[in-house]
A and B are shown apart, each in its own frame.
Chain A
Amino acid sequence: MKQSSNKFRHLVWPLVSLALLLLFNAIFTDNFFKVEIKKMDSAQESVRDQIPEIPDELPGTAVEAAAKAEAEIQAPAEQPTAAQVPAEQAPAQKSKGVSIFGYYLYGTPIDILNQGAKVMVLAIGMTLVIATGGIDISVGAVMAIAGAIAALLISMLDAGSFPGASMGPAFYWIIPVIAALILATLAGFWNGMLVAGFGIQPMVATLVLMVAGRGVAQLITDGQIITFTNPGLVFLCNGHALFLPFSVWIVVAMYVVFGLLTRKTAFGLFIESVGNNERASRYAGIEARRIKWLTYVICGFCAGVAGLLAASNIKCADSNNAGLNLELDAILATVIGGTSMAGGRFFLSGSLVGAILIQTLTTTMYMKNVSPAIVAVPKAMVVIIVCLLQSPVFRAKVLSIFASKAAKGGVQ
Chain B
Amino acid sequence: MKQFKFPMRYVPISATILVFFIVYLIGIICFDNFGSPKVFMNLFLNYAYLGIAVIGTALVILTGGIDLSVGSVIAFTSILIAKMINTGCNALAAIALALVIGILFGMLQGWLIHSFSLPPFLVTLAGMFFIRGCGFIVSEESLSIQNDPVFSFIQDNLTITLSKGLHLRFIVMLYVAVLIIAVIFSQRTRAGRSIYAIGDNELAATLMGIPVGRTKIMTYTIAGFCSALAGVVYAIYLKAGNPLNCVGLEMDAIAAVVIGGTLLTGGVGYVFGSLFGVLVLGLIQTLIQFNGHINSWWTRIIVGLLVLAFIFMQNLITKISKSKSKSH
Is the CB of A269 closer than 8 A to any CB of chain B? no
Across the interface, do B307 and A211 meet the contact criterion of CB distance under 8 Å? yes
Is the CB of B153 closer than 8 A to any CB of chain A? no
Measured CB to CB, the nearest residue on chain A to B243 is A373
Is the CB of B173 closer than 8 A to any CB of chain A? no
A194, A211, A380: which has the most chain B beta carbons within 10 Å? A211
Interface residues on B, range: 35 or more
Is the CB of B10 closer than 8 A to any CB of chain A? no
Nearest CB in chain A: distance from B325 CB, A: 10
Cβ 8 A contact of A207, one of B117, B126, B254, B299: B254
Cβ 8 A contact of A199, one of B136, B264, B308, B315: B315
Nearest CB in chain B: distance from A205 CB, A: 7
- Complex interface bits, A330-361 against B, C-beta within 8 A gives 1, otherwise 0: 01100100000100000000000000000000
Across the interface, do A207 and B125 meet the contact criterion of CB distance under 8 Å? no
Is the CB of B130 closer than 8 A to any CB of chain A? yes
Cβ 8 A contact of A341, one of B122, B130, B264, B311: B122
Across the interface, do B301 and A371 meet the contact criterion of CB distance under 8 Å? no
Chain B residues, CB < 8 A from A198: 312, 315
CA distance A198 to B305 in the complex (A): 15
CA distance A388 to B303 in the complex (A): 36
- Complex interface bits, A224-243 against B, C-beta within 8 A gives 1, otherwise 0: 00000000000000000000
With A200-B315, A211-B251, A215-B304 as given contacts, are A380 and B126 in contact (CB-CB < 8 Å)? yes
Nearest CB in chain A: distance from B292 CB, A: 14
Cβ 8 A contact of A375, one of B133, B255, B264: B133
CA distance A215 to B326 in the complex (A): 32
- Complex interface bits, B114-157 against A, C-beta within 8 A gives 1, otherwise 0: 01111101110111111011101100100000000000000000
Across the interface, do B300 and A211 meet the contact criterion of CB distance under 8 Å? yes
Is the CB of A19 closer than 8 A to any CB of chain B? no
- Complex interface bits, B311-328 against A, C-beta within 8 A gives 1, otherwise 0: 110010000000000111
Across the interface, do A215 and B300 meet the contact criterion of CB distance under 8 Å? yes
A371-402 residues at the B interface, CB under 8 angstroms: 371, 373-381, 383-384, 387-388, 391, 393-394, 397
CA distance A216 to B255 in the complex (A): 17
With A201-B264, A207-B254 as given contacts, are A388 and B305 in contact (CB-CB < 8 Å)? no
Chain B residues, CB < 8 A from A376: 129-130, 132-133, 136
Chain A residues, CB < 8 A from B295: 218-219, 222-223
Chain A residues, CB < 8 A from B264: 201, 203-204
With A200-B315, A203-B264, A211-B304 as given contacts, are A388 and B132 in contact (CB-CB < 8 Å)? no
The count of chain A contact residues (Cβ–Cβ below 8 Å) is: 50
Across the interface, do A383 and B122 meet the contact criterion of CB distance under 8 Å? yes
Is the CB of A405 closer than 8 A to any CB of chain B? no
Across the interface, do A379 and B129 meet the contact criterion of CB distance under 8 Å? yes
Is the CB of B298 closer than 8 A to any CB of chain A? yes
Cβ 8 A contact of B116, one of A201, A205, A393: A393
Q: What is the total of A-B residue contacts with beta carbons within 8 Å?
A: 131
Nearest CB in chain A: distance from B173 CB, A: 30
Is the CB of A7 closer than 8 A to any CB of chain B? no
CA distance A365 to B303 in the complex (A): 37
Is the CB of A279 closer than 8 A to any CB of chain B? yes
With A211-B255, A373-B136, A376-B129 as given contacts, are A133 and B301 in contact (CB-CB < 8 Å)? no
With A380-B129, A383-B126 as given contacts, are A214 and B136 in contact (CB-CB < 8 Å)? no
CA distance A377 to B66 in the complex (A): 20
Cβ 8 A contact of A135, one of B121, B127, B137: B121
Is the CB of A47 closer than 8 A to any CB of chain B? no
Across the interface, do A377 and B129 meet the contact criterion of CB distance under 8 Å? yes
Nearest CB in chain A: distance from B122 CB, A: 6
A198, A205, A376, A381: which has the most chain B beta carbons within 10 Å? A376
Is the CB of A278 closer than 8 A to any CB of chain B? yes
Across the interface, do B130 and A380 meet the contact criterion of CB distance under 8 Å? yes
Is the CB of B112 closer than 8 A to any CB of chain A? yes
With A203-B121, A387-B122 as given contacts, are A215 and B301 in contact (CB-CB < 8 Å)? yes
Chain A residues, CB < 8 A from B286: none
CA distance A307 to B223 in the complex (A): 34
Nearest CB in chain A: distance from B24 CB, A: 22
Chain A residues, CB < 8 A from B46: none
Measured CB to CB, the nearest residue on chain A to B298 is A215
Nearest CB in chain A: distance from B271 CB, A: 19
Is the CB of B297 closer than 8 A to any CB of chain A? yes
Nearest CB in chain B: distance from A326 CB, A: 13
Across the interface, do B122 and A335 meet the contact criterion of CB distance under 8 Å? yes
Is the CB of A286 closer than 8 A to any CB of chain B? no
Cβ 8 A contact of B326, one of A199, A205, A371: A199
Across the interface, do B311 and A387 meet the contact criterion of CB distance under 8 Å? no
Is the CB of B265 closer than 8 A to any CB of chain A? yes
Cβ 8 A contact of A377, one of B115, B119, B122, B133: B133
Chain A residues, CB < 8 A from B258: 204, 207
CA distance A249 to B311 in the complex (A): 40
With A214-B297, A215-B297, A218-B297 as given contacts, are A207 and B130 in contact (CB-CB < 8 Å)? no
Is the CB of A21 closer than 8 A to any CB of chain B? no
B129, B243, B265, B300: which has the most chain A beta carbons within 10 Å? B129
Cβ 8 A contact of A380, one of B118, B127, B137, B297: B127
Nearest CB in chain B: distance from A65 CB, A: 30
CA distance A129 to B326 in the complex (A): 18
Measured CB to CB, the nearest residue on chain A to B305 is A212
With A373-B243, A374-B133, A380-B127 as given contacts, are A203 and B297 in contact (CB-CB < 8 Å)? no
Across the interface, do A212 and B133 meet the contact criterion of CB distance under 8 Å? no
Cβ 8 A contact of A328, one of B117, B119, B129, B136: B129
Across the interface, do A391 and B297 meet the contact criterion of CB distance under 8 Å? no
Across the interface, do A377 and B118 meet the contact criterion of CB distance under 8 Å? no
Across the interface, do B118 and A391 meet the contact criterion of CB distance under 8 Å? yes
Across the interface, do A212 and B300 meet the contact criterion of CB distance under 8 Å? yes
Cβ 8 A contact of B66, one of A203, A278, A335: A203
Is the CB of A210 closer than 8 A to any CB of chain B? yes
Across the interface, do A208 and B311 meet the contact criterion of CB distance under 8 Å? yes
Instruction: Give 14 CB contacts A-B under 8 Å.
Output: A199-B315, A201-B265, A208-B308, A211-B303, A215-B298, A218-B300, A223-B297, A279-B327, A328-B128, A341-B119, A379-B129, A380-B127, A383-B126, A384-B123
The 5 lowest CB-CB distance pairs between A and B, nearest first, are: A212-B304, A215-B300, A377-B133, A380-B130, A376-B133
Residues of A bordering B, CB below 8 Å = 133, 135, 194, 198-201, 203-205, 207-216, 218-219, 222-223, 278-279, 324, 328, 331-332, 335, 341, 371, 373-381, 383-384, 387-388, 391, 393-394, 397
Given contact pairs A374-B136, A380-B126, a sample of 14 additional A-B residue pairs in the complex whose CB atoms are under 8 Å apart: A199-B326, A204-B264, A210-B251, A211-B303, A212-B304, A213-B304, A214-B300, A215-B299, A376-B132, A377-B130, A380-B128, A388-B118, A391-B117, A391-B118
